[in-house]
């Protein structure tokens, strides 16, 4: 009888080892990546805008729903256009939305290789506390002017997008989804460069708009490898019990 129990234990260990081997062979899920999508419809709920300015503000947080004055949430960055933009110069920027309702905007206006406190602002949208967003719109708008600009080294939620260009009366309008599923926070970084001087209608401008808030994350699903390991372990236990009974 003792020999049977020992043999059964050895068999269980062998089956468990095979199960672990199978689990290690199951491909792990790739990290979430941001993907380009077609226009999902709807309109931007909140967003950040960076533009040439000249005669007006150059960077601001905006929302036609939640901002009280002309869709712009005070305060603004560099509202008088001083310092002025320099054509052909890269300006680092950062836009970040966290699910506590805070939207951050920062622009390295002085080119000091870092966004300082005086070059950034955060606005809290209390009504959005606890909510993420499904979609991001990146809209480079030069209107009807001949002004040209580009965003380079664009990274969205850790995914390198690259360079987007806008100009010569042609705009770029792109939409993104984080395929991790459900609504998410957003982190956008990159460099903004004006290739020609801005015009009287304060173009070009770059807009980062968040759409569709509040979709809940899907319920977690067990990985196939985990299910396989559990099934094999149950089979092994059954084998041990049958041997003990014998």
Q: What is the pTM of this model?
A: 0.74
Residue 203 has pLDDT above 60, yes or no: yes
- Give the confidence band of 192 by pLDDT, cuts at 50, 70, 90: very high
pLDDT of residue 143 exceeding 80:
no
Predicted confidence at residue 145, as pLDDT, reads 67
**Residue 237 to residue 62: CA distance in whole angstroms:** 61
Residue extents of the structural domains in the chain: 2-26+225-245, 34-213
Q: Cα separation of 137 and 153, whole Å?
A: 17
**55 neighbors 65 (Cβ within 8 angstroms):** no
Q: Per-residue pLDDT averaged across 41-60, rounded?
A: 87
Contacts of 99 (CB under 8 A, 6+ apart): 129, 130, 131, 132, 185
Mean pLDDT check: name the lowest of 102-106, 198-202, 213-217: 213-217
């Amino acid at each position: 009888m003792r020999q049977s129990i020992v043999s059964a234990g050895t068999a269980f260990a062998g089956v468990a080892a095979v199960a672990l081997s199978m689990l290690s062979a199951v491909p792990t899920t790739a990290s979430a990546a941001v993907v380009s999508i077609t226009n999902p419809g709807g309109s931007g709920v909140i967003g950040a805008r960076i533009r040439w300015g000249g005669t007006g503000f150059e960077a601001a947080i905006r929302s036609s729903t939640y901002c009280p004055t002309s869709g712009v949430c005070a305060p603004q960055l560099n509202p008088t256009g001083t310092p002025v933009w320099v054509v052909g110069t890269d300006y680092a920027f950062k836009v970040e939305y966290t699910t506590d309702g805070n939207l951050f905007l920062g622009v390295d206006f002085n080119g000091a290789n870092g966004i300082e406190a005086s070059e950034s602002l955060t606005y809290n949208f209390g009504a959005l506390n606890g909510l993420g967003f499904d979609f991001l719109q990146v809209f480079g708008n030069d209107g009807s002017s001949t002004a040209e600009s580009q965003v380079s080294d664009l990274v969205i939620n850790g995914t390198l997008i690259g360079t987007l260009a806008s100009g010569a009366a042609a705009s770029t309008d792109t939409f993104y989804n984080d395929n991790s599923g459900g609504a998410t926070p957003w982190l956008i970084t990159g460099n903004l460069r004006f290739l020609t001087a801005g015009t009287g209608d304060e173009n070009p401008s770059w807009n980062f708009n968040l759409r569709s808030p509040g979709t809940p994350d899907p319920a977690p699903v067990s990985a196939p490898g985990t299910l396989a390991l559990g099934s094999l372990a149950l089979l092994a236990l059954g084998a041990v019990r049958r041997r003990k009974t014998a």
